[in-house]
Amino acid sequence: MTVSRAPAYAKRMAHPLRSAFLCAVVLAAGCAHRAAHAPASTAGDAAAAEHIHHRFEDVEQWAAVFDAPERDAWQKPDEVLAALALRPDARVADIGAGTGYFTLRLSRALPRGRIHGVDVEVTMVRHLEERARTAGLSNVVGVLATADDPRVPEPVDLVLVVDTYHHLQARPDYFRRLRAHLRPGGRVAVIDFRPDAPIGPPPGARVAREQLVRELGEAGYRLTEEHTFLPYQHFLVFTPVEDGSGAGAEER
């Protein structure tokens, strides 16, 4: 389902969280689905595939969604940043930064740090750079990535991946290469829609917690933090395993 069809779908909903629903659904890349209504079928697989490869080049369209004030109620950005407990001078790569929802908040929260807003869409990168410049935030760096290389120009303390993990291809290889971009003690935080959430991408595009932990394990990480305060999304934090094996990714 495309973004432009979402309002018609919403009109049929008598849900008290309609705006949050719409925001979350469209945020999840323009494919409005409710888990309970999605058929386990070829059509469902096609919707998932279409969703995963969805483009985000139209900044105006997506800014209205990603930066909708209603999003804060379920995205809880302040709590997310508090949970990450970053040093004020931390270096961060926000991979799949989009319009800069988290990049700009990180920039303000870490005035002595440096935040790399990484995206494959040049329009998004230019937009977040312009937002930072207009806001007088000098510690934001826009980075134009390729699908399989984030091109982060310096090692970072945190890689943050919000609602983007399910768009990444060959994820174990991607995150295995990413280890070289982490400073000692560096972490990878992944926030993405849960399979059981009433909103989000098509069911076939969502990644279950166990799959996420397994894939990061294959990439050489172990799960070191899990935050459960987000109503619709996983919030998992991973640390590289010393020998890179990643075996037994669940922390004991």
Ligand X SMILES: C[S@@+](CC[C@H](N)C(=O)[O-])C[C@H]1O[C@@H](n2cnc3c(N)ncnc32)[C@H](O)[C@@H]1O
> Which of 43, 73, 147, 208 forms a contact with ligand X (CB under 6 A)?
147
Is the CB of 109 or the CB of 241 nearer to ligand X?
109
CA gap 37, 198 in Å, rounded: 10
The verdict on 101 binding ligand X (CB under 6 A) reads: yes
Residues in contact with ligand X, shown as a per-residue x/- string from 173 to 212 under the rule CB under 6 A:
----------------------------------------
- CB of 78 vs ligand X, minimal distance in Å: 14
> Which of 32, 119, 171, 237 forms a contact with ligand X (CB under 6 A)?
119
End-to-end CA distance of the chain: 41
Is the CB of 29 or the CB of 110 nearer to ligand X?
29
Is the CB of 158 or the CB of 241 nearer to ligand X?
158
Number of residues that bind ligand X (CB under 6 A): 22
Pairing of the two strands 182-193 and 233-240: antiparallel
> Which of 95, 132, 141, 230 forms a contact with ligand X (CB under 6 A)?
95
Q: At which residue do the structure tokens 């991973």 appear?
A: 238
Phi, psi values for residue 7, rounded to 5°: -60, -40
Pairing of the two strands 156-162 and 182-193: parallel
Is the CB of 121 or the CB of 157 nearer to ligand X?
121
Q: At which residue do the structure tokens 């932990």 appear?
A: 213
- CB of 99 vs ligand X, minimal distance in Å: 6
The verdict on 92 binding ligand X (CB under 6 A) reads: no
- Give, as ranges, the residues between 24 and 83 that touch ligand X (CB under 6 A): 27, 29, 56, 66
**Amino acid, single-letter form, for residue 157:** D
- CB of 123 vs ligand X, minimal distance in Å: 9
Helix axes 101-109, 77-84, angle to 10 degrees: 50
| DSSP secondary structure letters along 127-188 | HHHHHHHHTT-TTEEEEE-BTTB---SS-EEEEEEES-GGG-SSHHHHHHHHGGGEEEEEEE
Is the CB of 110 or the CB of 128 nearer to ligand X?
128
